[in-house]
Amino acid sequence: MKYTRIPHTDIRISKICLGTMTWGRQNDEDEAHEQMDYALDQGVNFFDTAEMYPVPPKKELYAVTEELIGNWFKKTGNRDKVVLATKIAGPGYAAKEIRDTGFSRDSIIGAVEGSLKRLQTDHIDLYQLHWPERNTNFFGQRGFNAHAIDGWEDNIHQVLETLRDLKAEGKIRHVGISNETPWGTMRYLEESKVHQSLPRMLTIQNPYSLLNRLFEVGLSEISMREQIGLLAYSPMAFGVLSGKYLGDVPPRKARVTLFPQYDRYSSPSAVEATKKYAELAKEHNLNMAQMALAFVNSRPFVTSNIIGATTMEQLKENIESIEVNLSDEVLKGIDEIHNSIPNPSP
């Protein structure tokens, strides 16, 4: 395994992060525990979850993923071997069964307390805001809608004050953002620069893959100049970049087959790009999934690459991608495809 550090800290984390959003829906507890056992044995010490998991969200399954992780900590005693990240859900349709009070002080405190209880731990190493409260472009929306009505009032100072107080109590160690834009990222960073008693956002968890490189526009420069590390999610584009959906018959029990609403990686242009990446991998005798992950692993602004798997075979393949080094010829081929079909799946 290769390791990096959460920026501005001495916390050493694996370059491969174990994602958990299928646990409790596509994977049962035994399978989740097997994945954690194996990942830890392979040197993966960074786990990412969220109160909204498993996904797609369902009222009766709220926060089940955190409970499964907490049960594993209790069973194995491995809490001190893991750097643990979780998230508070923002307002909106995806969290309508959780709460509708956004990032108010009471909401954040209640969410942290709930996660601590379910995870059976006394602290969270990295606590993240899952998506913005304000009306902006995330979750597949390419551009900002300047005409949309937005009742949000800037409360970023108050959010950071609440997170500061939770840090002081020892309940969270560090904080990060997710599904954020360049404006939101800089807004948080500037607030903590002006008011130095407030905690600094250290990471940003956004989508990044061969089919969605929009992080490179604006956010990658911020990431590198401000030292806010990308935790790349959906690096496999819901499994599309394994090539398994290119056949005439969709694979049974696969994510996009089970949940066709997750179709952002299935547009005609995305399928065309995926076919080209599959051809490139074949030409260079590479496993397509590992090529896709190795590309993300190689980016200088990526602090950790969040993988997710529903089978042990997938998990092993994904973790082994850390040993794959792409040649200049392969990287050139990737850029040629990207330039011909740029970001088909924002």
DSSP labels for 21-79? TTBTTTB-HHHHHHHHHHHHHTT--EEE--TT-SSS--GGGTTHHHHHHHHHHHHH--G
Rounded distance between C-alpha atoms, residue 248 and residue 270, angstroms: 16
* Cβ contact 280:291 at 8 Å: yes
Please report where in the chains the tokens 């990287």 appear, as a residue.
331
- Answer yes or no: 53 catalytic: yes
Catalytic choice (3, 38, 53, 208)? 53
Question: Is 81 exposed, middle or buried (CB count within 10 Å of its CB: 0-12, 13-18, 19+)?
Answer: exposed
* Cβ contact 229:180 at 8 Å: no
CA triplet 302, 231, 340: central angle to 5 degrees? Answer: 60
Rounded distance between C-alpha atoms, residue 46 and residue 18, angstroms: 6
Active site residues: 53
